[in-house]
Structure 1
Amino acid sequence: MACGTGACAALIAAVLNKKTDRKATIHLQGGNLDIQWADDGYVYMTGPAELVFRGEMII
C-alpha cells in the first residue's frame, strides 16, 4: 500500500524548496509512483494499482 496523495504533496514541497525537478519517481512500499507537477498546475501520478477490498452496502 502507498499514499499517492502524500507522495504528490512531497514532490510539490521539494520543488518549492528547489530540491528536485517537477518530475520524479517516488519509491514507496506499494511500488514506485511517477509524479509530475505540470506547467498547467495539475499534478499527474502514475503507478501500480491493486484491488484490496470489495463490498456491498444496503441502504
Structure 2
Amino acid sequence: MIIKTKTYYLASTGDDKNKGTINSPWKTIKKINEVHLLPGDKVLFLENLQGCRHMTMGLQALRF
C-alpha cells in the first residue's frame, strides 16, 4: 500500500488564504490546526519561524 503524503509550508510573509505550498505558504499555525493532517504529512516553517524546522505526523508520535 502506497500512502501519498503532503507537505505544507508556513512563512511570516504567507497568507492563510494561500494553498500552503512552498510558493504560496500559509501564515499562521491556526491555519495548520484547521487542516486534517495524516500520518507522514509534513509542515515546514520557513524564514524567521525557527529557520526551516519541520514536524512530521506519525502514527504514534509528533517529531520535531
Report TM bin, short chain: 0.3 to 0.5
TM-score (norm 1): 0.34
TM-score (norm 2): 0.33
Q: Which fold has the larger relative contact order, with Cα–Cα distance below 8 Å and residues 6 or more apart in sequence?
A: 2
Give the number of the structure whose residues are more often strand, by fraction. 1
Give the number of the structure whose residues are more often helix, by fraction. 1
